[in-house]
Each structure stands twice: as C-alpha cells, then as structure tokens.
Chain A
Amino acid sequence: MTRREAIAACHEVTVSYGSGSASVVALADVDLTIGRGESIALWGPSGSGKTTLLHVLGGLVSPTLGTVSWKGELLSSLDARARTRARARGIAYIFQSANLLPHFTAFENVAFAVDVSEAADRNRDPEELLSLVGLTAKLDALPAELSGGEAQRVAIARALGQRPELLLCDEPTGHLDSDTGERVLNLIDALHDELGFAFVTATHDADVAARFDRTLELSDGHVVDEQTAQW
C-alpha cells in the first residue's frame, strides 16, 4: 500500500466531560493519522466516542488532553475564531440529521457554504453541485419540504461546496432507509473517488465500515481495533 501524505492527525487525545465523580471520559488516548484522500470508518456502538472523535478532528470540540493537527497546524491550540477559519479552509461535515439551515432553501444552504468557504477553489455553482446529487428540481425547497434522503443529499452538496480536503460524516445514513442509505453512500464514494478528499465516517454498521480503506473500532472511548482493507 502506498503511504499517503498526512493531512490531519490526533495524538493521545482524551476528551472528558464534567469533573470529579461525575466525570465522563468520551475519548481516551486516541491516536489517528489521516492521509490525503484516505477513507476511514470509525465503527462502534452508540456512546463509543465516534462522534466526539469526528468533532475533535474538525475542531468543534477541544480535547482535554493531547493534540490535534490539520495540515500541519495545531488545531487544538487555536481559539474558536481560528478553528472556525481552519474549517473554512477545507473541513466539511455531514451530520446524521443533515442539519440543514432551516430558513434557507436547498440552493441557499449550498450557496451559504460556498460563500463562507475559504478554500482555494471556492467558486462553485450551487446549482451545479445540487445537480451533482440529483436535486435540480428541489433548488428552492426549504429543508422542511425535503425528505430525509433529499436533505442528506443537500448536506452532501453543501459539503462539496466547501471544497473539502477532509470530509467528516457522522452516521450519514443513520436516519435513512436502507435503499436510500445505500444510494447516499454510493454517491459519497463516487464523489470521494472523483474529488480525492480524505473521508472519515462514523458508523455503527459493519457493512458500511467495510467499504472504507481503514476501520477503527471504538469502544468506551478507546480504539480497540484497527483494520486495513485488503483490496
């Protein structure tokens, strides 16, 4: 296997909430390096720390201990404003429930992401991105008027609008039926192949995890296993 250039990494990351006897450890001593264009599945049951690790990688949550880096920059030492800026330069999220901006249409959700993006190639047409995910007919629909699958495809188009180098997906098919989920995953796979971004997905579905280059198994905040796909 060719060794890829590391784009993001976390080193001995521990995240805990609360203090004293009420303290909950969400992640414990996690090490992870993500290569450019690599696809990684974070697999484990609910509460194992998958989402927390995704949030740490994108700078949404600061680790209690350890370091997180993004393109060589120590994300964990930056303030909120700088972390936001770092995300604008190539980190995109797709959430379990799409998290579309409720007062923007599908078009405007994508356009907003394009507008705030500071990626080098940011001049992407929202309409084109939405046609890429097959939603040309729903440009002016508000999130409340979209089905779950459509909302998730808008979220994908929105993520693409950010021109990501690292796409972080949190159970992207968790709220979808199996057929729709399959179509969404195929779409992300195709885009990943075409655009070459690094791709980390949290999932509790072993079949979904099997589609990725690497799978990290998490349990109670610890990485308990790591498997690399043999293509």
Chain B
Amino acid sequence: MVTAARLAAAGLARAPGKTLVRVLVLAASVALLGGMLLFVGNSLRTMSGSAVRGVPLDWQGPVGSFAQDKRVAADVARQPGVLQASPVATAPFAGAAHSAGGAITNAGKGSLLAVPPSYLDHIGTFRFLQGGFKRGGVVLDQQMAATLKARIGDKVALTPRAGAPPQRYAVSGVALVTAPDQLFQPLDPQLGPAPAQPPANVAIVDVATFAKRYAPALRTIAPANPGANVQPGAQNGVQWQVQAQLDPGPLSHGSPRAALKRADQTRNRVERSLPGQVQFVDNLSDELNTAAGDALYAETLYIMLALPGALVALGLAYLAALGTVDRDRRDISLLRARGAARRDLLALAWAESLAIGVVAGLLGAGVGLAAVELLVSGGAQLTVARALLTVGVCVLVATAGALAARLAASWSSLRGTVAEGRRKTQRERKPLWQRLYLDLIALGLSGLIYWLTARTGFSAVVNPDSNPTLSLSVYMFFAPALLWIGATLLLVRLRGSALAWVARRAAGGRATTMRGFMAVSAGRRGDAINRGLVIVALLLAFGVNLGIFSATYDQQARIDAQLTIGADVVATAPPGIVTKQDLPGKIASVSGVKSTTALDHSYAYVGPDLQDTYGVDPATFTKATSLRDSYFLGGTAKQIMSRLASTRDGILISKETITDFSLRPGDLLKLRVLDQRSGRFHVVPFHVAGVVQEFPSAPKDSFMVANLSYLQAADHSAGPNVVFAKTGGHASAVARRVTTATRADGTRVQSIDQQTAKTVSSITTVDLTGISHIEEAFVILLTAGAMALFVALAILERRQEFATMASLGAPLGRIGAFVWSEAGIVLGAGVVLAAGLGWLLSKMLVAMLTHVFDPPPDGLAVPWGFLAGLGGAALVATALATALATRRLRSLPLGEVLREQ
C-alpha cells in the first residue's frame, strides 16, 4: 500500500495539469452536493426553530384545583428542559358591562383568562397594548375594550354566569390576545389539541384574585372528566390548568422529527415524574408533527430536484477521466507487462483516488459552503457537526467518484490481456443493461407509474381538514426518477447512431468539401460527441426542470399565500375603526397601494354548523385582491361576483354546505347571525347566489360570502374589520408603511411576503428559493464547465489527427471548424433534448404534486430569464473554449505530436 501511495503521488505530480482538472471537476461536482447538504440541514433546522417558536403555548395540563395547579406548576417548572410552568385558569363569563357618564355599555358573553403576574416571561398568548397587570384589576382584550368603550382606570362588571351577581374590576390594561383558539380550547389529553372558536370577548385577571373572587361562583371542570368542556366554545366552568413552555434552544438544533422526538420524551418524563397529577394537551408536538410531515415533504422535494444534478455533475468526472483514458490504459498495460498484479493496480487507483478525493472533497465542501452563504438568505449557520458531516460526505463522494471514473474509464485494461490494453482500438461488448434493455424498461415503467398516478389519483394529498398536513407516497416519485434513469441510459445506448444517420444525410455520400468532411467526421465520432451530449443535455435538462418547477412552485406559493391572508397587504382593525377612521381611504393613500376594499369577517350558523362569514363589497373587492375562476363552481369569478352584487341578500356558500343541505342556487337559506348589539344569534334570510370553493382569507372547509351592506344590516356590527390592499411593488415595504400610517388605529398588518415565509401550509413551508439559487448557480457553472471540458477533450483526443491535418497544409481555421462544429452539435442537440426532457419532468412533478398546490396551477411557469442565462452561459463557455482551443492548436508541437504512437 505504501508503494501504491508513492506511485500514486508520483503519478499525480508528474501530470499536474491532468491532476488539477480532475480535482477541479470533482470539486465542482461535490460542491453541489455539499451545498445541498448544508442547505437541507439548515432548512430543517429553520423549520424546527420556526415550528417551536410559532407555538405560543406548548403544554396545557388540566388539574382539579388552584392548590393542585400551583403545586404541579412548581414541580413542572423544576423539570429539565422546561422554561416556564404557570398555574392558569380559564372560565366563562355571561356578560360584561361598563358604566360611564350615566350610560351603560354591555358586551356579550366571553372568556376569562387567569394568569400569574410573571406569565408573559416566556408564554406568548397575548401582549399588552396599554397598561399592564395590577392585582385585583382586569386586562381587557382590545376588542372587548372597544365594545365596552372602557379605558384604563374604568371599572367594568363581569357576570360569571346568568343569575350570578356581577363582579367589579378596575381596568389595568388593554391587550391583544394572539392565541385565543389554544387558550380556550377544550382540554382532553387523550384527544390532544382541538383549537376552538375564539370567544368574542376576552378578559384577563390575576390568578390569585380569580381563585379568591371569581372561581367560587362557578363549578370546576374535573380533569378526569373533560367531557363537559369538549365542545368548542361551550366551557361552562373553571378550567384549572398548568401551562408550560419548553426551552426552544435544544429543540431547534435538529430536524423537526428530532425535535418532535425530544419534545415527546420531555413530556413523557415530566408526566412520569408526576404520576396521576397531570397529563398535558401537547400543542408543541402537534405543531412539530405537522412540521415533521412538511420536512419529509421538503426532503423528498429537495432530493427529487437536486439529486439528478449531483449525479450528472459526477458524470463530468467520468468525462474528465476519459481525457486521458488511452494514456492511462497504456500505462496500466505497461505496469502489468512489468509484473504488476491487478490487485496492485487497484491499490494504485485507490491511493490516487483517495488523494484526489480528499483535496476535491475539501475544496468542494468549501465552495458549497460559500455558495450557501452567498445565495441563501441567513447563510449556512454552520455547526461543527454539520461541517464535519458535509466535509466527510464530500470527501467520500469525491473519492468514490474519482475511483469510479478511473475504473470505468480503464476497466477494460484491467480486465483484458496486456496486449489488448496496448492496442489503440478496443473491442467492446455491449454492457449487461443494454442487453437487458433496462433503459426501455425504465422508460416504460416511468410512463406506467405516471399513468397509474394520474388515473387513480395515487398522488400527494392534503388532508381535507383545516390543518394542511401532507400525505406522500414515495412510489409516485419513481416516475420522474425512472424517467431520468431511462432517458440517460437511452442516450448512452444511442451512442451517436442518430447523429451518424443525420451526418450521412448531410454529407450526401463521399465527402469532398469542408462541409462534407465536418459532417462525416461528426457522424463517425458519434460515441465521443454522445458522451459530451449526454452530460450537457442532462445538465441542461436538470436546469430546465429545476427552473420550470421552481418558478411554478414560487408562483403557486404566492397564490397560496394570497389566498391564505387575502391580499398583498391585509390590515385587521378593532370593530368600528375601519369605518370611523376611513381605513380603506387612509391605506389607499399610502405609497405603493393601488386599491383597497373593506370586508367584515364574522360567524353565522347554517343549521348546527358555525361557519366563517365574509361581508364583501363586490364592486371594490376584485380591485384589491385576485379571484381565480377555479375558486368558484358554476361560473367564472366575474360572473359569480356580479351575481352576488345584483342579489342584495345573496350569499355564496361552499360545495360541502350545498351538498349537506341539498341546496341549489336561488334557494332561500336562513342563517343564525350573531347580533353584535345583543350578543345573541338571530335568524336572517339569504338567497344562494353561487358556490364557492376557495376565497381570499377564508378557511379551506366551509365558509360563506355575502354582501357587506346586507350583512351589516343583519348583524348590526360597527362595520368591516379587515382591509385588503393591492400593492404595486414590494408588499413587505408597503405593509411597513401601512403599519406606520395606521398605528394609532390599533391595526395588525400582514403582507404576502411575510405569509410566504411563514409555516402555514406545506407549500409555503418549503422554501425552494434557497436550493433553487444554489442549484441554478451550479447548473450554469457546470454546464459551462461541461462544454469547456468537451472542447478540451476533443482537442486532447484528436491532437494527432489535427497535427496530421496541419502537416497536410490544412489552415488552422479549417481544423478549428472540426472543434466548433462538434461543440455546436452538442450544445444544439443538448438544448433540444433538455427542453423536451426538462419540460416532461417538470410537467410530471407538477402533475404529481397538483394536490399540494392550492389552488392547482393553471399551467407551468417558465422562467425565461434563468433559461436564457443558462443557455447563454453554455454558449459563452463554448465560444470561449473553442477560441482557446483554436489558439492552442496554433501552438501545438506538431513534430512531437506526430511522433506519438
């Protein structure tokens, strides 16, 4: 082995140019892999961190009394990994009243949250807008404060239950409750989280005061029998609970799967250490479970998008190894003639590949890291473990790639006799895969799987509930994978025979002119041209597939984000503020805002179902947001919206409701609408104007859309509570300006950019931008490199031929024509093949993920800029390489080359 290492070192040092090319090509190939590893690791960590940080309240453990609450909370707080545990309670109130200046303002029923003063240290279920906690005081949610017209220092009366005497509290603050659906959800550890309909009014009091004054007026919900509280919004007693928040640090270091496992282990340990005392409703694990599903989806997508590129990039190493294949073969044969055994030669190849692999792997990992730092927002956020893993994988793959390329290029010399190895022309036998027609089988299977997928809907599906988790079948990804494999093998099988056929036709018999000489030469060099063509076409196909899929994905992610929040910029305001402060007009005057519309988001009962109800102004709505035809059934968006506009009491309802209640357009529909004045539901007649499947900001299941004016007249609300704005530029910048302009009005402003980056649904969770940038940069570099390598290889392989031409008196221009014509063929045919294969792969991937896109894409988005850049880079590299090659031909040492045997 020592001898092999010495020989390898000497061999590498003797041909520094060849060694450098092999190192650079392998480094470029593994750099893509390194970049991917760093990106995926970082991406998964970001997903974990985002999921963990996105949960305002990790655990809620129901207990039976305040005393138990305090004791258990103290015990839980002492457990490792727990950042905070607090004794908390929730309870209903039947009504609230505020008297000022002789007038009494009432609010309907709501919920009371009782927390200790240190509650907000690490738990983020609400935040103060004004004031703060004061022992014996009450903090009102901003909506309730607005309803009651109460200010800090005023006294409000809360009635725990109908018939009970009201209790008076001084208002010490106004808060924005940001997680009411979790705070007031029914707590059943067996069932897990069940986010509830948020109460209309929320008040917050100190838990000690609550225990002393308020709790005695209500019964206590027993933790062992949560049945009384399982119906969302139906809490009728005091729910004592320990609320806890875990330390997010250790959970954010790995993948969501690892974070989920760790969070589950922590919960089990805490519950085991307090046997029979508490069991938690685990909001964190629920979120991490969704994130883990998203992560699986992300990893699969990354693999599908990136792996072919990395593998094709390794093909470049094979191409580079072919540059010296004849010389290597003769060297091997010489060594064998001098007594070296095959084992010795394999050891030599190993040692040489290891040396090259270590250098190329380190270089590649460095380039990959630089690419991630430069092209991905937030950088690589490298940890020692991740760095070691990346370097290890890069070195391993580079070594394996160097060895595989070396062995593949000179395998025949190792297997055959010494005499065969020394021959210039090698006799070749068809490889096994060609004899078994694996290429055609792979293509056939790909088509079959795709057909089955399309036919049976055997594809990725989003669960129909409002929690968009994804169910993926790995089998469906076999179709594009097999298409890659089949197309690659078929291209290798063809070995330029198609090219030879075209060349024969172009030459038109025996060549006697330059055009004919170039045609017959290219035709007979089909194998060599095909080698370059396979690599270049596959790299370009990878680029086309990546570009089209990423562009389509981005387009759909943006549409999905807009559908989720409603518009480019959305401002939510306390009741009455939108009309009173003319928020639509105020926001419309902000720079960058093109148009606005106001809408009212409330709730109404259809039979027993409480559904989100949107009051919109059809005249302005479509100017401030986008509606797609696919959102509606039975007409285009324009038709349905104008039908709604022309029917004063018209209402658009979901298909599910249409089916469940056997409704048809035009039918009378009586809804129970919440009267904001009385706080009670009352019956209001509507007429079905159409069927809606999706609507901006509406949930994915059941909802209704009515005319704003009719709905307002029915629910006596203080006007719209949401403003949609369409922007003409960067939504996030406009959102910041809108926030500044409306800060005094207590608005909450969101932008589509923030939404796209948020963990809300699968499609917006997986941000392909980073990996797309990395791969796009690499594919441009690798394609340019492949073209340059092909040209360099052509010169190397044909140097004696070109020297002979020069000895015959052929001008350099004519000799150079043989190089650029072949490069042109590779590039031209590569572009055509790549366009077809890339488009087909994108079409397949998008079709298979149709159910992930919400709404499904109307067609593929084509990133012309990137594709032009890709083609341009290949063209420039070809032109440069050909120009350099022609220069090199001028300085070819003719005498020396012509003596070579």
Binding site for B on A (CB under 8 A): 51-52, 55, 58, 60-61, 80-81, 84-85, 87-89, 91-93, 95, 97, 99-105, 107-108, 111-113, 115-118, 126, 139-140, 142, 144, 158, 162
Contacts and interface: CB of A to CB of B under 8 A. Distances in A.
22 contacts: A58-B807, A60-B895, A61-B894, A80-B890, A80-B891, A81-B811, A81-B812, A84-B810, A85-B809, A88-B810, A95-B804, A95-B898, A99-B807, A104-B521, A105-B510, A108-B510, A108-B512, A115-B517, A116-B808, A140-B510, A144-B425, A162-B808
A85 B811 contact: yes
B511 A108 contact: yes
A211 B807 CA distance: 26
A110 to B, nearest CB: 10
Contacts of B777: none
A172 to B, nearest CB: 14
A112 B515 CA distance: 11
A87 B812 CA distance: 13
B807 A142 contact: no
B520 interface: yes
A116 B425 contact: no
Contacts of B806: 60, 84
B809 A116 contact: yes
B225 interface: no
A124 to B, nearest CB: 12
A52 B899 CA distance: 10
B514 A84 contact: no
A60 B898 contact: yes
Nearest to B892: A80
A116 B425 CA distance: 28
Contact of B801 (A84, A101, A108): A101
Contacts of A88: 808-811
A103 B800 contact: no
Contacts of A113: 808
A230 to B, nearest CB: 34
Q: Which of B520, B801, B804, B899 has the most CB atoms of chain A within a 10 A radius of its CB?
A: B804
B467 to A, nearest CB: 65
Chain B interface residue number, banded: 20 to 34
B898 A84 contact: no
B808 A87 contact: yes
Interface of B: 425, 510-514, 517, 520-521, 524-525, 800-801, 804-812, 814, 890-891, 894-895, 898-899, 901
Q: Which of B520, B801, B808 has the most CB atoms of chain A within a 10 A radius of its CB?
A: B808
Contacts of B524: 103, 142
A61 B895 contact: yes
Nearest to B897: A60
Given A101-B804, A103-B520, A103-B524, A51 B899 contact: yes
Nearest to B522: A103
Nearest to B818: A103
A52 B511 CA distance: 33
A165 to B, nearest CB: 12
A108 B517 contact: yes
Given A102-B801, A103-B525, A142-B524, A84 B512 contact: no
B524 to A, nearest CB: 4
A117 B521 contact: no
Given A117-B809, A162-B808, A55 B510 contact: no
B523 to A, nearest CB: 8
Contact of B510 (A84, A101, A111): A111
B800 to A, nearest CB: 7
Contacts of B800: 99
B520 A116 contact: no
Contact of A115 (B512, B801, B898): B512
Contacts of B898: 55, 60, 95, 99
Given A52-B895, A103-B801, A111-B511, 6 more contacts: A51-B895, A88-B809, A88-B810, A95-B804, A103-B521, A107-B510
6 A-B pairs with the lowest CB-CB distances in the bound complex, closest first:
A88-B809, A61-B895, A87-B809, A55-B895, A103-B524, A60-B894
Contact of B809 (A52, A91, A105, A108): A91
A55 B898 CA distance: 10
A113 B814 CA distance: 12
Contacts of A80: 812, 890-891
B890 A81 contact: yes
Given A51-B899, A61-B894, A104 B809 contact: no
A101 B799 CA distance: 11
Contacts of B804: 95, 99-101
Contacts of A111: 510-512, 517
B895 A116 contact: no
A101 B525 CA distance: 12
Q: Which of A60, A91, A97 has the most CB atoms of chain B within a 10 A radius of its CB?
A: A60
Nearest to B513: A115
A84 B513 CA distance: 19
A113 B890 CA distance: 19
A139 B895 CA distance: 29
A81 B814 CA distance: 12
Given A60-B894, A115-B514, A87 B520 contact: no
Q: Which of B425, B520, B891, B895 has the most CB atoms of chain A within a 10 A radius of its CB?
A: B895
Nearest to A56: B895
A26 B728 CA distance: 77
B805 A101 contact: yes
B520 A108 contact: yes
B858 to A, nearest CB: 50
A132 to B, nearest CB: 18
B812 A84 contact: yes
Nearest to A15: B895
B809 A162 contact: yes
A95 B809 CA distance: 15
A52 B895 CA distance: 7
B894 A55 contact: yes
Nearest to A17: B896
A93 B801 contact: no
B445 to A, nearest CB: 37
B439 to A, nearest CB: 27
Contacts of B814: 116
A102 B895 CA distance: 19
B141 to A, nearest CB: 84
A126 B894 CA distance: 26
Contacts of A126: 512
A222 to B, nearest CB: 19
A94 B333 CA distance: 29
A80 B805 CA distance: 13
A29 to B, nearest CB: 19
A112 B899 CA distance: 21
Contacts of A103: 520-521, 524-525, 801
A97 B890 CA distance: 24
Given A52-B895, A60-B898, A61-B894, A112 B808 contact: yes
A193 B513 CA distance: 31
A100 B814 CA distance: 17
A116 to B, nearest CB: 4
Contacts of A102: 801
Contacts of B899: 51
A36 B767 CA distance: 79
Q: Which of A93, A97, A99 has the most CB atoms of chain B within a 10 A radius of its CB?
A: A99
A51 B513 CA distance: 32
A84 B521 contact: no
A144 B514 CA distance: 22
Nearest to B813: A81
Contacts of A61: 894-895
A82 B94 CA distance: 105
A89 B895 CA distance: 19
Nearest to A60: B894
A118 B810 CA distance: 10
A117 B809 CA distance: 7
B556 to A, nearest CB: 50
Given A61-B894, A116-B814, A87 B807 contact: yes
B811 A104 contact: no
